[in-house]
Structure 1
């Protein structure tokens, strides 16, 4: 990525022998990272020694060791070794990158270097952008996408606005799916994970159809008869009072008896590549996915409470266990709420499809790339949103959200022999979000309302139509043979037209949530984001770099918020988020290409950091802009592959990061007293009503450990004719942090050390393989995000509900190539 720099994190190979070359996309499908391309970059050794990884972080193929970008590159081999088929699994191999899965709102909280976006608003696009085959996916719900048959993943750290656009203030996760092979290749895989009782099958077929046309088909299906989390909910009965008749009715809601999430998934992708010669290539990728869980909030664990029990249900202990407490909808209400099931069961259903077309034309002095994409996803769920089998508040809720986007990007890159080369690009995107949600609230009903609304407290509807026009360019100047300067800028013009309304509210609740009060916002944003980089290579094995970078994330509208009596547009329409700062570093290859040492230092200031706040007492959502935050850090990374022991690879990193609010008058967390810091006034905008606030200046941002690190060993060796044995161990360390964006003292995550490991035996010259894959073998309880518990904070500080990562998993896997 032009104009960006930092150290390259290269533990991508944790295994035997050599790393496979990996590439990343940044707006287009890059040239394939073939072994020949890797050899052209640096010396290769048949046994032992480091291999180069090819990346396109600056929109051209470069050695990972040379490119001035802070990037963790995971090869196809590494991804397959640890069965990294989701963003959550990828995050377990990347220090400083954390994902907190959420049931509602955006669907996830992605955090990198202590900067991320709250999960409770579907209108907030993530500060960590996700890019698939060059196409931007900004919604947190992209974690519901299953990723199969990947050719490589790159995690680019820090602001990446120049090439990745409007919403990459904290970093980019770039995934590249595999293309057709030049010769026929077929492989099948069958795996069984013991904890979740999950059976997974995968098939890939690839090869040429004609001399100019290649095809690749990949399919994966899975079924889970158990789950990762035990649902220990208890039967409950709660009452509703009919406001029309005054009659009170009891409703019995049985506990779910089983484990969550009980996932069923089907994924598929078809790739066609037409390469007629004449330096032209056209690629089409069409993919679809569907998944269904038996609980949309299957990882919501009450883990931090005063006195150790939950405020609204003292029978529930707040413990750091892989255990949740949720119930079916009441039997007499099952199927009455919109999008609820007739049997009252909880669920989450996600489906998506996308088509991407990429045209590449290599002229004599210019490479032209044109990428077009259309993608659509639907997410629907039914939730017991008390999360703790509470009978004191009825919270059966349902939701259906639809999102679709069209984008087109055209880019031209010169390749003159002279010292100056240019890149120019234009980008267009059009999006539409349609969000609808229902919920019971206040223990009321209304027999005079339409049948589907009788037991609802509210029904809300929100839409946003967005349009983005952007242009960017960069110039690189080879000042000397070993000194290069690069400078570029991106311009963004964006509009978002939104509204939020509650078409139905029970009459008893309209003092709190007015019916048919519409909050609308027509927003326009304009931004210039420049950056500059200087790269010096005193020798072929040493790269020194420094860069000044800026980034921008557009403002938006909290579609999943509420319209309360005092809501004004500024409560749900929020301002853009911006970043600026620098990185300097050095990358080296030492000891005759056996040792890689990389070191970098960075400092970035974020202004108007977008933070979403959930008031647990009123169920009100308010999106705020923190005045300023800063993240500063140091990263040291290494990889060692000795010639003396072919097949051995050692790798690791040590990272220090300090992420703090510089100035932020924030809402108080639930139940916070004046003595605990709730002693100022929170008023994000002049037209907003004043509310109790706290001064978080100097407090840590959410999920921002000071120290993280990793260490891994991989080894593979021949143990017989055509037979190989391989083993890997990878550890990841994190110091403690607060999971809450509002410094809630009970949201603390203790320091932890995870251990992943694999054992593989390959037979018949790698045609057959049997593997045992273990992840989080230390069974660490890790919170990737937290919210105040609903209906808590009335008599004490609010209880904490954590978005908890997966426990220990062990999978047996068999595969065959033919």
Structure 2
């Protein structure tokens, strides 16, 4: 932590005297509109819809971080990883069969069968699949990150929090922006264009497009390539029909196409193994034999190739009709994606297997097809009376087809099927899950204005979630990507022998239908101490349905629940030149859905999924915003987190424990810190903008984000531990007096701190693979708005 404090102090020292910061208004203190002036004497009011109605963020009785789309473009915050690094208590993990978004140490593990504990919404439409969040932030008005259970307004799956993105809406004013960024260090480019305006007296439209990618910052010496090599395209079309005060209709449709080569270059650690870990496993031996072991994070690797491809379509239709004292709102959503992911293990086929004709020992191919439709209807009363209320109904229907295929080419497994398959047969196995799901919910919220200073907020949601899932497996001749050739399947006898000895178990799940339902009440009290200071206290319950592991096992898991207490104070001082928000929270989770990755006897990755008995999450969130003089700002977003397992008697073992007990190994993690739960995390941002001439201004900025150490797998294995770090971003810009144009230089990870957000066990080895976060980059950005 001493190093963290030194870097943090350095950033403030850079930022204050020299005017550090154009990341103008930042997380939690973001300006209300991208059109707001860059130099302000007080904190701009931020309007959010965290409770499905427009409110100042200072009046919302929950812990919430907010940033605008303009701020994210300026800071080149283009994905959840970038955003999560800057918010205390938030950790994002982008790798494996699914991504993971964690708030306050709670998230969903690495399996396609999980819905996310941090629910993601775009314009009120729920996106339940983790990798849907890889679509970047295109033409946004703002993003709201709500911490803690959000069951009443955001649904039963928002058991750890919610991320709500609001896109930029068309208006009757012609406006738009264009920006271009290029970073020579790793070939990153980002081109964005958005334009909108009137199409008729009450009709307006807006269109946006983004081309982005990079050449890569990790060198793979095995295949002589750099990665990730991304080529991504996103587009949006939006229409709005508005009769002010009566009818507001908003429709948008988004399309995204990602073509990412060399997408998951994983570096290798603990190879050769540290003392006590035994001899190198087969995977590590392959790396050592090739002369490529370096055993450290350094943007260099010798693992196999990989790619990630995504095509998605999402749409939202929002209709708000106001009649008298009530507003009826309908939100209709549609989402579809087709994802293909491939990773190639560094395992090479052992001597004697060259007749298979495969260059890879263990290729893994993933396919995920998903579609969902949803409908929400809300009736909202007029504001300002003794009773304000919202009544709503919600329904969604979805289908998920997810599968994994493995090529078993790294050992002579055909020898275990004598007389059933020919020698040197390249055996592959595919596992497929096909899940249908429907969610029926009713919710209500009421605010009782007991006095001008005192408000009582009541909320409740009832959800009934029905799921049906079926699992199938096939075994046959495999291709170079590890896929089973449909016209070259093994015989039933060979398939049975294979799944009973070497491969993954065959057959359907033991239980294929389930219905989980829950009533989730909440209560919240607010009291205005002054016109600029509010205290609150809340009790919230939450719930997430059970389901099935989609992949190598036939595991299934039950629902999880939470009871959460939170209290805090939000205050502004000295004419709103100082803002201080602090909240304390204590949540207890029962049946927490947890997962990690193990290696089975055949050397293959297998997810271990279980319901944890109990976990406790408690801590403090602090936000401070200071505007010492015109054009200057300092902002801090800092969190302390104490997240522990209270009951976890059958947790998966560490790699060291597995060496001693390779069969049936478990450990008791009661009292141990949860994964993705650093004790300290957050960011400090300093900004200064000043005039150079009547027509020219300068903008300077610095942003330090930091975290204490944390585990990246639920086994709490020291091999999966990311030590503490702090990183520094800088930005300097020249702009026109009214910000109509701007030229900037952006430096990210200035000190080139090497870290990883993902670690997992290496196939057929006691080594570890890790995906390094981005190295230092320096980019030039040109932008204009009109």
Same fold by TM-score greater than 0.5: yes
TM-score using structure 2 length:
0.86
Is 1:662–2:662 an aligned residue pair? Answer: no
**How has the CA–CA distance of structure 1 residues 504 and 389 changed in structure 2, closer, same or farther, with 3 Å as cutoff?**
closer
Is 1:80–2:40 an aligned residue pair? Answer: no
Is 1:356–2:316 an aligned residue pair? Answer: yes
Q: 2:129 aligns with which of 126, 139, 142?
A: 139
Shift of 1:223: 4.2
Aligned partner of 1:552 in structure 2 is 543
| Secondary structure of the corresponding residue to residue 657 of structure 2 | coil
**How has the CA–CA distance of structure 1 residues 382 and 747 changed in structure 2, closer, same or farther, with 3 Å as cutoff?**
closer
Aligned partner of 1:567 in structure 2 is none
Q: 2:301 aligns with which of 313, 324, 334?
A: 324
Rounded to whole Å, the distance in 2 between the matches of 1:360 and 1:756 is 41
CA deviations over 1:508-559 (Å, ceiling 9, x no partner) = 6332336752225211101111110000002111100000011111111111
Aligned partner of 2:485 in structure 1 is none
Rounded to whole Å, the distance in 2 between the matches of 1:370 and 1:322 is 49
Q: 1:775 aligns with which of 731, 745, 748?
A: 748
Q: 1:125 aligns with which of 96, 107, 115?
A: 115
- Contact persistence 1:551–1:578 (CA under 8 A): yes
Aligned partner of 1:539 in structure 2 is 530
**How has the CA–CA distance of structure 1 residues 69 and 257 changed in structure 2, closer, same or farther, with 3 Å as cutoff?**
same
- Contact persistence 2:657–2:665 (CA under 8 A): no
Rounded to whole Å, the distance in 2 between the matches of 1:125 and 1:17 is 33
Aligned partner of 1:113 in structure 2 is 104
Is 1:628–2:596 an aligned residue pair? Answer: no
| Deviation larger for 410-419 or 543-552 | 410-419
Aligned partner of 2:517 in structure 1 is 526
Shift of 1:68: 0.4
Q: How does 1:336-375 map to 2 (within 5 A)?
A: 346-375=306-335
Rounded to whole Å, the distance in 2 between the matches of 1:490 and 1:23 is 30
Aligned partner of 2:451 in structure 1 is 480
Shift of 1:737: 1.7
Aligned partner of 2:397 in structure 1 is 430
Aligned partner of 1:692 in structure 2 is 665
Is 1:737–2:700 an aligned residue pair? Answer: no
Aligned partner of 1:565 in structure 2 is none
Rounded to whole Å, the distance in 1 between the matches of 2:719 and 2:450 is 55
Aligned partner of 1:183 in structure 2 is 173
- Contact persistence 1:561–1:622 (CA under 8 A): no
Aligned partner of 2:484 in structure 1 is none
| Deviation larger for 81-90 or 421-430 | 81-90
- Contact persistence 2:396–2:440 (CA under 8 A): yes
**How has the CA–CA distance of structure 1 residues 749 and 327 changed in structure 2, closer, same or farther, with 3 Å as cutoff?**
closer
**How has the CA–CA distance of structure 1 residues 366 and 445 changed in structure 2, closer, same or farther, with 3 Å as cutoff?**
same
Shift of 1:21: 12
Shift of 1:231: 1.4
Rounded to whole Å, the distance in 2 between the matches of 1:22 and 1:583 is 18
Q: How does 1:260-659 map to 2 (within 5 A)?
A: 260-277=227-244, 279-298=246-265, 300-304=266-270, 306-307=273-274, 311=281, 312-314=283-285, 315=288, 316-327=293-304, 346-384=306-344, 386-387=345-346, 394-415=361-382, 417-441=384-408, 443-444=411-412, 455-504=426-475, 507=494, 509-512=498-501, 513=503, 517-519=507-509, 520-562=511-553, 572-618=555-601, 619-642=605-628, 645-659=629-643
| Secondary structure of the corresponding residue to residue 317 of structure 1 | coil
| Secondary structure of the corresponding residue to residue 163 of structure 1 | helix
Rounded to whole Å, the distance in 2 between the matches of 1:278 and 1:662 is 52
**How has the CA–CA distance of structure 1 residues 606 and 323 changed in structure 2, closer, same or farther, with 3 Å as cutoff?**
farther
Aligned partner of 1:245 in structure 2 is none
Shift of 1:64: 0.9
Shift of 1:486: 0.9
TM-score using structure 1 length:
0.83
Aligned partner of 1:172 in structure 2 is 162
- Contact persistence 1:379–1:400 (CA under 8 A): yes
Shift of 1:47: 3.8
How many pairs are equivalent?
722
Shift of 1:46: 7.8
- Contact persistence 2:733–2:745 (CA under 8 A): yes
Aligned partner of 1:196 in structure 2 is 186
| Secondary structure of the corresponding residue to residue 769 of structure 1 | strand
| Secondary structure of the corresponding residue to residue 418 of structure 1 | coil
Higher helix share: 2
Shift of 1:434: 0.7
- Contact persistence 1:702–1:785 (CA under 8 A): no
Rounded to whole Å, the distance in 1 between the matches of 2:725 and 2:22 is 27
Shift of 1:456: 3.1
Rounded to whole Å, the distance in 2 between the matches of 1:116 and 1:390 is 37
Aligned partner of 1:230 in structure 2 is 219
Runs of 4+ in structure 1 off by over 4 angstroms are 13-24, 32-36, 387-393, 444-451
Rounded to whole Å, the distance in 2 between the matches of 1:22 and 1:596 is 10
Q: Let me know the Cα RMSD of the aligned residues.
A: 3.0
